[in-house]
Amino acid sequence: MICTVTFNPSLDYIVDVENFRLGFTNRTSSEQILPGGKGINVSIVLRNLGISNTALGFAAGFTGEEIIRRIQDMGIDSDFIPVEEGLSRINLKLRSIDGTEINGAGPEIAPDKVEELMKKLDRLGKGDVLFLAGSIPASMPDNMYEKIMKRLSGRGVVTVVDATRELLVKVLKYHPFLVKPNHHELGDIFGVKLHTGEDVIFYGKKLQEMGARNVLISMAGDGAVLVTEEGAVYQSPAPKGKLVNAVGAGDSMVAGFMVGWMEKQDYRHAFYMGIAAGSASAFSENLATQEAIEEVYRQVVDCRKNENS
């Protein structure tokens, strides 16, 4: 079983507005409505790569119903817990105004709903994969990830955590299989600015010392770094392509890495798959298709071969 958790999913209303003027009526030149949230993004890319999975989380009101409908239409199983009060978020993303976003708050999540999610996660066991991705709503305990990891400890569940600061640091003692900060988030954890690949590797290894098994660090246009539990370090520049939409690129990298790992249990292949999936999404209007990922993967492999020849 492969599951993702999105605590605060959304409908993302993505618009382009030409010549936007503050204080005036503006009209869109293009618009999309997509289900959003880091865990949902992971689920979509997993499904695009042919991997069945179940999306878990909380859904409230008509927006929650629409989120569920849309991900089910994509062929993703959903097991969202209904929340009676409030609405799941609508996030406005103004792509043409330097990536400006207005994100909703989301519904209040009551303690009994949190326990209901925990009981669903109790079904996971040896060899199952769980993705924990994104922020925690203000109404939930700020140690939610830690509680989940503690509850699953010793069951052999393969855990992947994509979170920031304390959310990430607090789970390291439970030895997640993979953590994926970006280089800014990694620097924030240690209170430093990371300027070089050597800096990134050094602090990636620090996360390993704190308990992480494998550390995948995205570096935007500078590529990515992987520090593995076997002691290997892999680095790659970013593939060449036109940046179209950076939303979900990091989530795509996580999904691609894990698909690569499940295919061959080979870290180099998994690393290349992660880079390919993240870059293919960045080069696309929406999250990357399998064909787009495979095309970028070939570019990554060919580039590394040429460097080593």
Interstrand relation of 89-94 and 10-16 (parallel, antiparallel or unpaired): parallel
Q: Quick check: is 251 catalytic?
A: yes
Q: Residue 129 pairs with which residues in a beta bridge?
A: 2, 158
CA distances from 58 to 10, 274, 300 (A): 10, 27, 37
Element (H, E) at 102: strand 100-102
Given 73, 188, 251, 266, which residue is catalytic?
251
**Residue written as token pair 């990371």:** 194
Q: Extract the tokens encoding 271.
A: 């690393």
What string of H, E and C letters represents the secondary structure of 118-162?
Answer: HHHHCCCCCCCEEEEECCCCCCCCCCHHHHHHHHHCCCCCEEEEE
Burial of 18: CB neighbours in 10 Å, binned 0-12, 13-18, 19+: exposed
CA distances from 176 to 6, 13, 160, 180, 231 (A): 18, 33, 6, 11, 16
- Cα(60)–Cα(47) distance, rounded to whole angstroms? 24
Number of H helices, E strands in the chain: 10, 13
Closest alpha carbon to 49 in 255, 266, 298: 255
* Type of residue found at 141: P
b (16+ CB within 10 A) / e for 70-83: bbeebebbbebbeb
Active site residues: 251
